[in-house]
A and B are shown apart, each in its own frame.
Chain A
Amino acid sequence: MSLLEVAGLHVRAAGGRDLVSDLSFTVEAGERFGLIGESGSGKSLTALAIMGLLPPGMTASGSVVFDAPGTDRTEVVGAPERRLTRLRGQVTSVVFQEPLTALDPLMRIGRQVAEPLRRRQGLRGRALDKAVLAALEEVRLAEPRRIARAYPHEISGGQRQRVAIAMALACRPALLIADEPTTALDVTVQAEVLALLDGLVAERSMALLFISHDLAVVAGLTDHVLILKDGAAVESGSALDVVNDPRHPYARELVDSARVLDAALDRLKGGGTP
Chain B
Amino acid sequence: MSAQARTARRRSLPLTAGCVLVGLVVAVAVVSLFWVPFTPDDTSGDRLMPPGLPHLLGTDKLGRDLLTQLMIGARIALAAGAGSVVLGGVIGLAAGLAAGFATRWLDDVVSALLDILIAFPTLLLAMLVAATQTASLTSAIVAIGLAMSAIVARLTRVLVKRVLAQDYITASRTSGTSWPRVIAEHVLPNIWPTLTVNLALQFGLAVLAEASLSYLGLGAPPPNASWGRMLAEAQASVFIAPVGVIAPGVLIVLLVVGVNLVADGLRDVADPTRRRRRR
Contact = CB atoms under 8 A, between A and B. Distances in A.
B52 interface: no
A92 B175 CA distance: 8
Interface stretch (B28-36, B134-142, B182-190, B244-252): B182-190
B44 interface: no
Interface string B35-52: 000000000000000000
Interface stretch (B150-158, B196-204, B267-275): B267-275
A93 B176 CA distance: 8
Interface stretch (A82-90, A213-221, A247-255, A257-265): A82-90
A234 B267 CA distance: 51
A53 interface: yes
Contacts of A56: 103-104
Nearest to B275: A151
Q: Tell which of A51, A101, A164 has the most Cβ of chain B within 10 Å.
A: A101
Contacts, number: 90
A88 B273 contact: no
A153 B276 CA distance: 10
A88 B185 CA distance: 18
A115 interface: yes
A88 B179 CA distance: 13
Contact of A115 (B175, B193, B270): B175
A107 interface: yes
Contacts of B170: 48, 53, 94, 96
Contacts of B165: 55
Contact of A102 (B104, B167, B189, B270): B167
B270 A89 contact: no
Interface residues of B, number: 26
Nearest to B189: A106
A146 to B, nearest CB: 15
Contacts of A120: 175-176
Contacts of B168: 101-105
A106 B270 contact: yes
A102 B169 CA distance: 8
B173 interface: yes
Interface in A45-100: 48, 51, 53, 55-57, 81, 85-90, 92-94, 96-98
